[in-house]
Chains A and B, each alone.
Chain A
Amino acid sequence: MANAGPTSLARDSWRRFLKNRAATVGGIIVLLIWMVAIGAPLFAPYDPVAHLSSANRLKPPGSPGYLLGTDDFGRDLLSRLIYGARISLQVGVIVVFLSGSIGVTLGAIAGYFGGLMDEIIMRSVDIVMAFPFFILAIAIMAVLGPSLNNAMLALAMVSWVGYARLVRGQVLSVKQKEYIESARAAGLSDWLIILRHVLPNCMAPILIQATLGVGGAILSAAGLSFIGLGAQPPDPEWGAMLNEGREYLRQAPYLTIIPGTAIAVTVLALNLLGDGLRDALDPRLR
């Protein structure tokens, strides 16, 4: 059983992932969007928030100097789209990081220690899950006030429960394993066991949920911005751009079509990547 080590498991998963064409395409698109987001100042031809001039208002795509046209303030749509990629990916990653950190920590505590802690944490999960996701997010936005940072916080506050449930289930199964018993027998503290032995063995489903969660967070944040509760003008967040563009749906439909396509392509690529990771890391879930 020389090949049974973790390296070969990773290699097997990688091979399975590469065989999945949809997932590979999704991964490449995500990588490209990341590169565009990171290099936004290099790729964007204009300042995304500076008003150019009233003469440049609502120029259609393909106009000289403006590949994707301009908006009602004469701002270059391509530049706003590129900087929007940066904002949307940031939102996705920050929401997943925050909700994942809260959910994984609480789920691990609930699953590993059980008892009263488990009861308190899981009943809190039940309460949050009794709310329709988006309704709770907008109720929290009512308290925090409209802004992109608050939208991220609100989304993290409602989406941690998914991670908590997932991790608790995983921990309940992992903690029964013999290597955990031997770690305990070796005198390791509970926290060290959780960090070194329990959580690393729960990483695959967490990673899958996180990848799918980035797409979900981008969609939800765009939805909040669209109704005026998330990013505020002149931030070039894709949902906020859609909100601004809808007033010109008849006159300049590209202001709606282009940012929406960007959201759909990004979320689709993230979903394909997430599905591919799920199939590669845990073929039983296929």
Chain B
Amino acid sequence: MLAISALVFLMLHLAPGDPVLTILGASERTNLDPGVIAQVREEFGLDQPLYTQYYLFISKAIRGNLGRSFQTREDVLEMVASRLPATLQLTLASMAIALVVALPLGVVSAVRQNSWVDNASMVFAAFGISIPRFWFGLILILVFSLQLGLLPTTGIGHIESGLWDVIRHLILPAVSLGLSMLALVTRMTRSSMLEVIRQDYIRTAWAKGLTSRVVIYKHALKNSLIPVVTVVGMQFGGLLGGAVVTETIFSWPGVGRLAVNSILKRDFPMVQGTTLVLCLTFVLVNLAVDILYTFLDPRIRYD
């Protein structure tokens, strides 16, 4: 995280253009009072050398202070934290939809290799990987909101209005965001299962007369899950990245939309804050994946 923070900090502070102009909402320096410029520089610590700025930034960041927005002067961490639950709600729902569909589909494809189910799910997976998420989101809006009027076009549901309000607002963005993960996990589950079901211990399990349910779900699937979990962990980064676009389409009040708006307004502290929080989330998910490995395969130990 230290390396990530340093890279993001350096990138944004070496960007061309004077941040003071952005803060003051001006396009040229000539119209500005030098006294005001100096005051703003001091206020945002921009008068310090770069290494001091980074030191101050990181020492404040550790204490939960990511600075203030150039645009609104609001606290960056507060802004990002208020929007993080919406992004997590969206990404976790997408992941849940992807896994609930992809795992059984991958298993059935492997067990019935070369059947119509297998062929259909592989065609579906090929499309799922190739279709742009944002376009799929728009098509979902077109069909389910504008044509059929079944689900809302944009916005987030509120629990005060009932659980159904939350779910019906979540369905379209979560499905559109989860499509490519669904496709990749289906492919990975299928290929991993195909490898495992050819192993001797699976043949032994069949020979012992165990039911197909026990052989496939208890013996084969559990041993196929490690590469699947790896893909899920890596794809979570894809979900966070995809959320940036999906949140824009569905006017979802998450961190991704905040990041895009901050970039377009060149609000660097906010860009820095959103990037760091999304990266931290990604790092934590991958840590969780590493821990999950030890549950799936007790031979894996981290010393």
Q: How far apart are A199's CB and chain B's nearest CB, in angstroms?
A: 27
A242, B135: Cβ atoms closer than 8 Å? yes
Interface locus among A173-181, A184-192, A226-234:
A226-234
B3, A127: Cβ atoms closer than 8 Å? yes
Does chain A have a CB within 8 A of B131? yes
Does chain A have a CB within 8 A of B53? no
Name the contact of A132 in the complex, choosing from B129, B238, B264 (C-beta under 8 A): B238
Taking CB atoms and an 8 Å cut-off, the chain B residues in 21-64 that contact chain A are none
With A141-B263, A222-B132, A263-B132: A135-B240 Cβ-Cβ less than 8 Å: yes
In the complex the two chains form, what is the Cα distance from A133 to B15 in whole Å? 20
Residue of B nearest to A272 (CB): B126
Q: A250 to chain B: which residues have CB within 8 Å?
A: 146
In the complex the two chains form, what is the Cα distance from A139 to B238 in whole Å? 15
Q: A263 to chain B: which residues have CB within 8 Å?
A: 132, 135
B11, A138: Cβ atoms closer than 8 Å? no
A143, B139: Cβ atoms closer than 8 Å? no
Q: B142 to chain A: which residues have CB within 8 Å?
A: 249, 253, 256-257
A242, B263: Cβ atoms closer than 8 Å? no
Q: B92 to chain A: which residues have CB within 8 Å?
A: none
Residue of A nearest to B286 (CB): A130
With A131-B282, A135-B275: A143-B14 Cβ-Cβ less than 8 Å: yes
B4, A130: Cβ atoms closer than 8 Å? yes
Does chain B have a CB within 8 A of A152? no
Does chain B have a CB within 8 A of A215? yes
Q: How far apart are A194's CB and chain B's nearest CB, in angstroms?
A: 28
Q: B244 to chain A: which residues have CB within 8 Å?
A: 134-135, 138, 227
In the complex the two chains form, what is the Cα distance from A259 to B136 in whole Å? 12
Does chain A have a CB within 8 A of B268? yes
Q: B8 to chain A: which residues have CB within 8 Å?
A: 139
Taking CB atoms and an 8 Å cut-off, the chain A residues in 118-139 that contact chain B are 127, 130-139
Name the contact of A264 in the complex, choosing from B130, B242, B263, B282 (C-beta under 8 A): B130
A143, B132: Cβ atoms closer than 8 Å? no
Q: How far apart are A8's CB and chain B's nearest CB, in angstroms?
A: 29
Does chain B have a CB within 8 A of A197? no
Q: SS class of chain B's interface: helix, strand, loop or mixed?
A: helix
B242, A134: Cβ atoms closer than 8 Å? yes
Does chain A have a CB within 8 A of B80? no
Name the contact of B12 in the complex, choosing from A142, A222, A228 (C-beta under 8 A): A142
Q: A229 to chain B: which residues have CB within 8 Å?
A: 260, 263-264
Does chain A have a CB within 8 A of B20? no
Q: How far apart are B93's CB and chain A's nearest CB, in angstroms?
A: 18
Does chain A have a CB within 8 A of B225? no
Does chain A have a CB within 8 A of B300? no
B279, A223: Cβ atoms closer than 8 Å? no
A142, B141: Cβ atoms closer than 8 Å? no
Number of interface residues of A (CB under 8 A): 43
Does chain B have a CB within 8 A of A260? yes
- Candidate in A132, A222, A226, A267 with the most chain B CB atoms within 10 angstroms: A132
Q: How far apart are A193's CB and chain B's nearest CB, in angstroms?
A: 33
Does chain A have a CB within 8 A of B7? yes
Task: Tell me the total A-B contact number using a CB cutoff of 8 A.
Answer: 138
With A143-B15, A264-B127: A249-B259 Cβ-Cβ less than 8 Å: no
Q: How far apart are B136's CB and chain A's nearest CB, in angstroms?
A: 8
Q: A256 to chain B: which residues have CB within 8 Å?
A: 135, 138-139, 142
B11, A132: Cβ atoms closer than 8 Å? no
In the complex the two chains form, what is the Cα distance from A264 to B180 in whole Å? 12
In the complex the two chains form, what is the Cα distance from A259 to B131 in whole Å? 11
Q: B227 to chain A: which residues have CB within 8 Å?
A: none
Taking CB atoms and an 8 Å cut-off, the chain B residues in 243-271 that contact chain A are 244-245, 248-249, 259-260, 262-264, 266, 268, 271
Q: B127 to chain A: which residues have CB within 8 Å?
A: 264, 268
Q: A246 to chain B: which residues have CB within 8 Å?
A: 138, 249
Residue of A nearest to B14 (CB): A143
Q: How far apart are B190's CB and chain A's nearest CB, in angstroms?
A: 13
Q: How far apart are A57's CB and chain B's nearest CB, in angstroms?
A: 20
Contact code string B113-142 (vs A, CB < 8 Å = 1, else 0): 000000000000011011111111011011
Does chain B have a CB within 8 A of A156? no
Does chain B have a CB within 8 A of A140? yes
Taking CB atoms and an 8 Å cut-off, the chain A residues in 156-178 that contact chain B are none
In the complex the two chains form, what is the Cα distance from A107 to B74 in whole Å? 43
A139, B275: Cβ atoms closer than 8 Å? yes
Q: A257 to chain B: which residues have CB within 8 Å?
A: 139, 142
Q: B3 to chain A: which residues have CB within 8 Å?
A: 127, 130
Q: B146 to chain A: which residues have CB within 8 Å?
A: 249-250
With A130-B3, A131-B4: A138-B260 Cβ-Cβ less than 8 Å: yes
In the complex the two chains form, what is the Cα distance from A133 to B266 in whole Å? 20
Does chain B have a CB within 8 A of A219? yes
Contacts beyond the supplied A138-B260, A139-B11, A144-B15: 10 A-B pairs with Cβ under 8 Å: A132-B238, A132-B279, A134-B240, A137-B241, A139-B12, A143-B14, A222-B134, A256-B142, A264-B135, A268-B131
> Could you show 9 A-B contacts with beta carbons less than 8 Å apart?
A133-B241, A134-B238, A138-B244, A139-B11, A142-B12, A142-B262, A223-B245, A264-B135, A268-B126
